């Protein structure tokens, strides 16, 4: 008898570890961008480096969207099949 999400049957320990590692890497990248902005970019903010702040905002937004996608992938049974389980 199969319980839970039928899509999660192909999820192995290796792929679960991979998705969790990717999510932690995204979280670490977000933290690095936040710290860089807080301590190096915002204190010296001017019109000349405003575009650099915009790049940080786009990067953090992209990381947040990827974080949601990978989180949904874990929830739905491993996300994309990268062929790494074989």
Going by pLDDT thresholds of 50, 70 and 90, the confidence category of residue 14 is low
In a domain, 83, yes or no: no
Range of 56's domain? 10-75
Provide the domain count of the chain. Answer: 1
Measured CA distances, 59 to 23, 24, 30, 73 (Å): 15, 16, 8, 21
Written as one string, the DSSP assignment of the chain is: ---S-GGGGG--HHHHHHHHHHHHHHHHHHHHHHHHIIIIIGGG--STTHHHHHHHHHHHHHHHHHHHHHHHHHHTTSSS--S---
In a domain, 3, yes or no: no
In a domain, 17, yes or no: yes
In a domain, 20, yes or no: yes
In a domain, 41, yes or no: yes
Task: Evaluate if residue 53 carries a pLDDT over 90.
Answer: yes
Question: What are the pLDDT digits (tens) for 18-33?
Answer: 778 888 999 999 999 9
In a domain, 27, yes or no: yes
């Amino acid at each position: 008898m199969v319980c839970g999400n039928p899509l999660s049957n192909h999820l192995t320990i290796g792929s679960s570890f991979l998705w969790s590692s990717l999510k932690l890497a995204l979280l670490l990248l977000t933290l690095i961008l936040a710290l860089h902005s807080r301590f190096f970019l915002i204190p010296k903010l001017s019109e000349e480096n405003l575009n650099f702040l915009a790049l940080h905002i786009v990067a953090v937004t992209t990381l947040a969207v990827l974080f949601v996608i990978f989180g949904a992938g874990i929830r739905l049974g491993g996300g994309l099949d990268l062929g790494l389980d074989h």
